[in-house]
Amino acid sequence: MSSIKTKDGTEIYYKDWGHGQPIVFSHGWPLSADAWDGQMLFLSMHGYRVIAHDRRGHGRSAQPSQGNDMDTYADDLAELIEKLDLKDMVMIGHSTGGGEVARYIGRHGSKRVAKAVLVGAVPPVMANTANYPNGLPISVFDDIRKGVQADRAQYYKDLSGPFFGANRPGAKVSQGLRDGFWLQSMAGGVKGHYECIKQFSETDFTEDLKKIDVPTLLVHGDDDQIVPIDHSSKLTAKIVKHATLKVYPGAPHGLTATHQEQFNDDLLAFIKA
């Protein structure tokens, strides 16, 4: 397996396929780089180099007790990018990974970045705060913590329903897709997953978003039950200077899988533009 060792000794697993302009992917909670397989295969077949890592505490990366916070996630990504000496890259983040991309640019700048794509992403901030009084109540995230602590295996099975919109009338979501979600989720560590909940819910990315100075595509489903669009992308579109918001009618949080063909086409068009 390909991996790097970060400054604090944590092993970060990554995939690196193909040649050409690098496309760097950051996955959502509680998944792994495998969540991007549909996009990585597609873009590698179109002449791009595709790279995706497992966040610390997730997937095949190490499960350290320390560093399960957004700053360290962004710094781990920066170490990988510098180790591979990636330039003129397109950064793509889904959900928590969208926050990771924003924090990377906020902390490390955009000198290596050509464009950014945030998909169903958590910025600017999910939870109700003084700056965002219309955010989701903290009780929503307390319930997630309870589910992960009590029986995370069952919690992840249940979560795959609203994640892919399988709980909607007439939904056509395969059992295999839901099983794959569960498999990726269970590969990670409970401590890293538990501590990540605070990071994706309470981190305020407003100042990071203000520093994004590259063309940015925001993609969001208007039936996202995990990261509601009104609390996230619609607000982010008003903060990022060069942002375009593309709304997928009826699409769920996991639209990269449920709307894979449409999303891949939009992604390729944006990268080429």
Tokens of 261: 């063909």
- Sheet containing 49-53: give its strands across: 3-5, 11-17, 49-53, 22-26, 89-94, 113-119, 216-221, 243-248
Strand partners, 56: none
Which conformational region is residue 134 in: left (phi greater than 0), alpha (psi within -120 to 50 degrees), or beta?
Answer: alpha
Tokens describing residue 173: 């979501």
* Whole-number percent of the chain with pLDDT over 70: 100
Give the pTM.
0.97
Is the confidence at residue 1, as pLDDT, over 90? Answer: no
What confidence category does residue 147 fall into, taking pLDDT thresholds of 50, 70 and 90? very high
**Residue 187 identity:** A
pLDDT per residue over 197-246, tens digit each? 999 999 999 999 999 999 999 999 999 999 999 999 999 999 999 899 99
pLDDT in tens, 47-69: 999 999 999 999 999 999 999 99
Mean pLDDT of the chain: 97
Which band of pLDDT confidence, cut at 50, 70 and 90, is reported for residue 76?
very high
pLDDT in the model for residue 7: 97
- pLDDT tens digits, one per residue of 120-138: 999 999 999 888 888 999 9
For residues 64 and 62, give the distance between their C-alpha atoms in angstroms, rounded to a whole number: 6
Q: For 109-122, write each residue's pLDDT tens digit.
A: 999 999 999 999 99
Residue 131 is predicted with a pLDDT of 83
Query: pLDDT tens-digit profile of 21-46?
Result: 999 999 999 999 999 999 999 999 99
Q: Which amino acids are annotated catalytic?
A: 95, 224, 253
Q: What is the pLDDT of residue 134?
A: 86
Distance CA 183, CA 211 (A): 36
How much is the pLDDT for 132?
Answer: 85
Q: What confidence score (pLDDT) does residue 129 get?
A: 84
- The pLDDT of residue 42 is 98
Query: In Å, what is the CA distance from 152 to each residue of 148, 155, 157?
Result: 4, 5, 8
CA proximity to 210, closest of 114, 121, 109:
109
Element (H, E) at 89: strand 89-94
* Topology (CATH) of 3-272: Rossmann fold (3.40.50)
Query: Residue 133's pLDDT is what?
Result: 86
Do the beta carbons of residue 130 and residue 232 sit within 8 Å? no
Closest CA to 167 of 121, 95, 97, 226: 226
